[in-house]
Amino acid sequence: MFQVKPILELVAHKLPFAAKVVSQQMLEKMAKEEERLEQENLNPYTFKYVVQNSLGGCHNWISPYDRRWFGKYL
């Protein structure tokens, strides 16, 4: 049986940016964890709220990627 994961790990390690091999189960687990953290957050001033309301004039210095993804992806 041909295994794809070892080949993908080699490729991910050689890429010029941080990458990792994930499966569908891992993606689902990460989504559940992200949702749990969002539900348990007690801070009313999330990064998304700050960006959407331009608190502190953040639109002058944040990147377009932060405006779209709210700091989720680097």
Q: Mean pLDDT, to the nearest integer, of 11-33?
A: 95
What local confidence, expressed as pLDDT, does residue 21 receive? Answer: 94
| Residue 51 neighbours by CB under 8 Å, 6+ apart | 58, 59, 62, 66, 67, 70, 71
Q: Could you give the CA distance from residue 56 to residue 1 in angstroms, rounded to a whole number?
A: 57
| Better pLDDT: 44 or 2 | 44
DSSP E strand stretches across the chain = none
Asked if residue 51 has pLDDT above 90, the reply is yes
Residues whose CB is less than 8 angstroms from the CB of residue 70 and which lie 6 or more positions away in sequence, other chains included: 47, 48, 51
Q: Global pTM? A: 0.68
pLDDT-derived band at 74, boundaries 50, 70, 90:
low
pLDDT of residue 10: 95
